[in-house]
Structure 1
Amino acid sequence: MILLRNFHLVPSRTCRSFSARSSPSPADYCINLVKQYDYENFLCTLLLPGNLRRAAFCIRAFNIEVSLIGDKITEENIGLMRYKWWNEALGGIYNEKSALKHPVVLELNKVIKEHKLLKRQFTRLITARSNSIPKTGFKTMTDMEAYAEESTSPVYYLILQAAGTNVLNVPTYL
């Protein structure tokens, strides 16, 4: 048993999947990635129903992987090659080819097939991030809003789709 704040006892097995292991499963890798880089959404995702939680962690982990590319690169071409790799990994999943041996790709393969998620939403995330290289800032508020729509909204659309929700007022280009 683990003792948490306010003296609530939580069984150790509840926290087990969130602890570091030598070789975590793809699902655990996604959970840990979200916990490390997006703690607020990690906590919020824990509140989702179990069948949706796995998909949400996977979608958020994909978003983190793609967003980290821009933060880690020193040359524009290297970043563009990494974005291309993610596009090809998605293409392999949607074309029924074997998934690449990357934990997020392996988990995406399962989640996409289980929930029949739209490829376009994943592509929007990659495109938004790749178009922001090099980082020059936004010239207008409209530019910033457009970037936010392309780089953030697809995450929520995908989670809603995984939940079986038909999103109303979604732009027609989806």
Structure 2
Amino acid sequence: MERERAATVRRMARKADPDRAIAALFAPLTARDDLFALFAFNGELARIADQVSEPGLGAIRLQWWRDALARAEAGEATGHPVADAFGSVLARRGLSRERIAGLIDARSFDIGETIMPDTRTLDAYLFDTTGGLFALAAEIVGAEGENQGLIAQAAGQAYGLVRVMRSLPVLAAKGRTYLAA
């Protein structure tokens, strides 16, 4: 069962975020499945905006993820392979709850807004989403250092902006823009 779940989570991570899934293959073997769980979790959060027709429904899904992770971390099965896998990662690794909450909370923009209001908001969004992923991945592989947060923030901003630029046509077709006026 555990092997099947790990294979499912790997497939979901590859589909949601091929770049990070490839990068995870270069991580130490002991961290790979945990990285796949993190990236699949992020992919599930990112998909919410495409799955719902109104912000209230998206907010319900974001809350479901908060609750599911809490249950999965406590050892309760949620029935969702990503929630169960990432909950297990949380229980074993003690990842930053603040970063995970920031990652979930930042996705509220995806479900409620269509235009990024200003550069400060964009920077905060990129820090919480892409930067948060870099920081959480660093925690998983055991990276340490006093500048780890600054490095994750800078990497998140750079990589996040590249991803925003790559997705401009898709976002524009949906009437959304993540570039601040």
TM-score range, shorter chain: 0.7 to 0.9
Higher helix residue share: 2
| 2:24 pairs with 1:45 | yes
User: Which segment drifts farther, 76-85 or 107-116?
Assistant: 107-116
Alignment partner, residue 122 of structure 1: 100
Alignment partner, residue 66 of structure 2: 87
| 2:81 pairs with 1:99 | no
Task: Quote the Cα distance in structure 2 between the aligned partners of 1:119 and 1:93.
Answer: 14
Aligned-residue sequence identity (percent) comes to: 26
Task: Quote the Cα distance in structure 2 between the aligned partners of 1:80 and 1:127.
Answer: 9
| 2:5 pairs with 1:26 | yes
Q: If the length of structure 1 is used for normalisation, what is the TM-score? A: 0.76
| 2:120 pairs with 1:142 | yes
Query: Can you give the 5+ residue segments of structure 1 that lack an aligned partner in the other structure?
Result: 1-23
Deviations for 1:86-142, whole angstroms, at most 9, x for unmatched residues? 011122244x25131110111112222222212222111110002443232212222
SS at match of 2:41: helix
Deviations for 1:124-167, whole angstroms, at most 9, x for unmatched residues? 11100024432322122222111100111111111111122235
Q: If the length of structure 2 is used for normalisation, what is the TM-score? A: 0.74
Q: Which amino acid aligns with 1:52?
A: A
**Equivalent residue for 2:143, pick from 149, 165, 169:** 165
Q: Which has the larger radius of gyration?
A: 1
Give the paired residue count: 147
Task: Quote the Cα distance in structure 1 between the aligned partners of 2:124 and 2:58.
Answer: 21
- The CA RMSD over aligned residues, in Å, is 1.8
Task: Quote the Cα distance in structure 1 between the aligned partners of 2:145 and 2:132.
Answer: 11
Task: Quote the Cα distance in structure 2 between the aligned partners of 1:101 and 1:49.
Answer: 28
Query: Can you give the 5+ residue segments of structure 2 that lack an aligned partner in the other structure?
Result: 151-181
Task: Quote the Cα distance in structure 2 between the aligned partners of 1:132 and 1:108.
Answer: 22
